[in-house]
């Protein structure tokens, strides 16, 4: 073959390539369009199947049928594997089934996708709680509190914080619980039910001052409840404001005689008020009678503890000696003549009650009342 012919042949061959590429491009476009059409049919079917199974799953989840719900959400995810809500619901169903590692796996993936999702953070916090990981739980709870929520953002945040507070109270982190409660209180309205719940949590957190304030807000409302009176009474009782406690507790017991806790507190309040010789507007005669009663009660306590064999165990022995030495002096006449004897007798009675409270058997009601009176007048 001549050179010219070879050149012509090669040229023809090469000239055909742009045309071929153009044809290939056209074929690719057509194929792309065809597959796009096919893809739409496929996607449509997949979405339809996913939605059907998801709806069934939601229905089962709402009825607490976790096992079928999990299976249905899994089926839904088979057809729509990236769907965030399906994965979230599956995680909820798995949590319901106590399959925590599986739920955690889904939730951690979801959290990586949307770290500001409140629901996911809350569920992760609950998993951390179940796993006993306090730091992680706190981190996720705080994430959830400051996260975005699809609707009722304020309510969901409040509920999340309440969840956190209850957790903190369960693990005896009272200081952290108190600070969370203060943050919660700042964001609450004066609605009685909210204030009641807040007060009860504050009571649990031993923040009695704020608890009393919360119950009082609620008690001012026309929708005040027995729980508010009981809570306020309990808070006042813990604060040593016995007259106030008596008023609230009487109201609570009157509203609900079955409230044994309030009734017991009311009884104790009554005893404290009856037995306290240092109450204002108490006559000298009455005071001296109460001092003598308290002294006798302390002696009975010492005798009871000694009978249990604790006398020889050290700390009680000086008290017994002191009580025995002082007893002849505790008469109405001497108490009247010597006001310092009142202080000395009550100090000894308080010492006896304080020291025996940790050693001896459960105190009688009188002993318990004396103990409360001792704490009330501590340092005074």
Partner 1 sequence: MGTAPDPPTTLPVQPEESVLLTSSAARTSSAVLKLVFQEERFFLILSVFIGVFAGLAVVCFRFAIDWCRIYLLGSAAVVSPLRLLLAPTIAGLVIAVLVIHVFPLVRGSGVNQTKAALYIYNGYIPLRTAVGKFITAALAIGSGQSLGPEDPSLQIGASLASVLGRRMRLSRERMRLIAPVGAAAGLAAAFNAPISAVLFVIEEVIGRWSAGILGSVVLSAVSSVVVMRWFLGSEPLFRIPVVQLHRPSELIAYFILGIVGALASVAFASGVTTLRPRLRDLPEWTQYLQPPLAGLLIGFIGLLGAPQVMGAGYEYIDQAMHGQFTWQFLGILAGLKIITTLLSFVSGTPGGMFAPTLFIGAMLGAAVGGVEHALLPSLNWSPGTYALVGMGVLFAGFLRAPMTSVFMALEVSGNYSIIVPVLVANTFAYLICRGLQPSAIFDVLSRQDGVDLPSMEEQREESILRVEDAMEPPPAVVPDDHDLLAKAAQVVDEAPGNVCLIRLNPVGWGAITKQEIASLMEQGKGGLSLGSRLASGPIPYLHPDHSLDMALRYIDRWPVLPVVSRADFSRLEGVITRQKVLKKYGHFTS
Binding site for partner 1 (CB under 8 A): 4-5, 7-15, 17-18, 20-21, 24-25, 28, 31-32, 35-36, 38-39, 42, 45-46, 49, 53, 71-72, 74-75, 78-79, 81-82, 99, 101-102, 105-106, 108-109
Locate tokens 């090469």: which residue? 14
Minimum CB distance to partner 1 smaller for 29 or for 254: 29
Minimum CB distance to partner 1 smaller for 25 or for 338: 25
| Cβ contacts of 281 within 8 Å, gap of 6 or more | none
Minimum CB distance to partner 1 smaller for 70 or for 230: 70
- Give phi and psi for 148, each to the nearest 5: -95, 145
99 vs 95, 103, 112, CA distance in Å? 6, 6, 20
Closest CB 117 distance from partner 1, rounded Å: 17
Give, in degrees to the nearest 5, the angle at Cα 346 between 342 and 352: 150
Q: CB count, 10 Å around CB of 70?
A: 25
Classify burial at 298, counting beta carbons within 10 Å of its beta carbon; exposed 0-12, middle 13-18, buried 19 or more: buried
Do residues 79 and 46 touch, judged by C-beta distance below 8 A?
A: yes
Closest CB 48 distance from partner 1, rounded Å: 10
Locate tokens 């700042």: which residue? 186
Minimum CB distance to partner 1 smaller for 32 or for 223: 32
Give, in degrees to the nearest 5, the angle at Cα 99 between 96 and 101: 130
Minimum CB distance to partner 1 smaller for 1 or for 186: 1
- Give phi and psi for 117, each to the nearest 5: -85, 120
Cα distance between residue 101 and residue 67, in whole Å: 16
Closest CB 132 distance from partner 1, rounded Å: 16
Cα distance between residue 216 and residue 307, in whole Å: 46
Minimum CB distance to partner 1 smaller for 76 or for 310: 76
Closest CB 74 distance from partner 1, rounded Å: 5
Q: CB count, 10 Å around CB of 213?
A: 18
Closest CB 44 distance from partner 1, rounded Å: 12
Minimum CB distance to partner 1 smaller for 54 or for 237: 54
Closest CB 379 distance from partner 1, rounded Å: 52
292 vs 275, 318, 339, CA distance in Å? 10, 20, 13
Closest CB 107 distance from partner 1, rounded Å: 11
Minimum CB distance to partner 1 smaller for 101 or for 379: 101
Residue 305 is inside which H or E element, if any? Answer: helix 284-307
Closest CB 42 distance from partner 1, rounded Å: 5
Minimum CB distance to partner 1 smaller for 45 or for 285: 45
Of the candidates 129, 84, 135, 142, the residue with the CA atom closest to the CA atom of residue 111 = 84
Closest CB 109 distance from partner 1, rounded Å: 5
Cα distance between residue 373 and residue 69, in whole Å: 59
Do residues 259 and 227 touch, judged by C-beta distance below 8 A?
A: no
């Amino acid at each position: 073959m001549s050179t010219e012919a070879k050149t012509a042949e090669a040229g023809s061959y090469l000239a055909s390539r742009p045309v071929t590429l153009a044809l290939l491009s056209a074929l690719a476009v057509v194929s792309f369009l065809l597959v796009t059409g096919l893809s739409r049919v496929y996607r449509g079917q997949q979405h339809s199947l996913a939605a059907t199974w998801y709806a069934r799953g939601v229905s089962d989840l709402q009825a607490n049928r976790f096992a079928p719900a999990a299976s249905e959400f899994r089926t839904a995810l088979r057809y729509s594997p990236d769907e965030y809500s399906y994965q979230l619901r599956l995680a909820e169903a798995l949590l319901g089934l106590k399959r925590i590692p599986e739920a955690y796996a889904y939730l951690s993936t979801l959290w990586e996708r949307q770290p500001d999702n409140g629901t996911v953070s809350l569920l992760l916090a609950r998993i951390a709680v179940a796993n006993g990981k306090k730091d992680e739980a706190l981190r996720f709870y705080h994430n959830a509190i400051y996260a975005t929520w699809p609707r009722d953002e304020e309510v969901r945040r409040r509920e999340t914080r309440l969840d956190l507070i209850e957790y903190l109270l369960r693990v005896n982190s009272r200081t952290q619980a108190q600070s969370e409660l203060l943050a919660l209180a700042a964001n609450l309205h004066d609605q009685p039910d909210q204030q009641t719940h807040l007060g009860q949590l504050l009571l649990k957190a031993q923040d009695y001052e704020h608890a009393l304030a919360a119950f009082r807000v609620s008690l001012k409302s026309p929708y005040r409840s027995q729980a508010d009176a009981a809570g306020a009474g309990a808070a006042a009782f813990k604060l040593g404001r016995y007259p106030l406690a008596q008023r609230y507790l009487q109201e609570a017991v009157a509203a609900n005689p079955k409230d044994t806790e309030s009734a017991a507190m009311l009884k104790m309040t009554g005893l404290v008020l009856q037995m306290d010789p240092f109450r204002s507007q108490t006559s000298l005669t009455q005071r001296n009678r109460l001092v003598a009663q308290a002294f006798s009660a302390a002696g009975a306590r010492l005798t009871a503890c000694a009978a249990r064999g604790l006398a020889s165990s050290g700390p009680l022995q000086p008290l017994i000696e002191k009580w025995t030495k002082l007893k002849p002096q505790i008469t109405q006449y001497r108490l009247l003549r010597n006001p310092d004897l009142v202080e000395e007798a009550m100090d000894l009675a308080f010492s006896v009650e304080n020291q025996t409270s940790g050693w001896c058997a459960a105190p009688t009601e009188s002993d318990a009342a004396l103990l409360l009176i001792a704490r009330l007048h501590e340092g005074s």
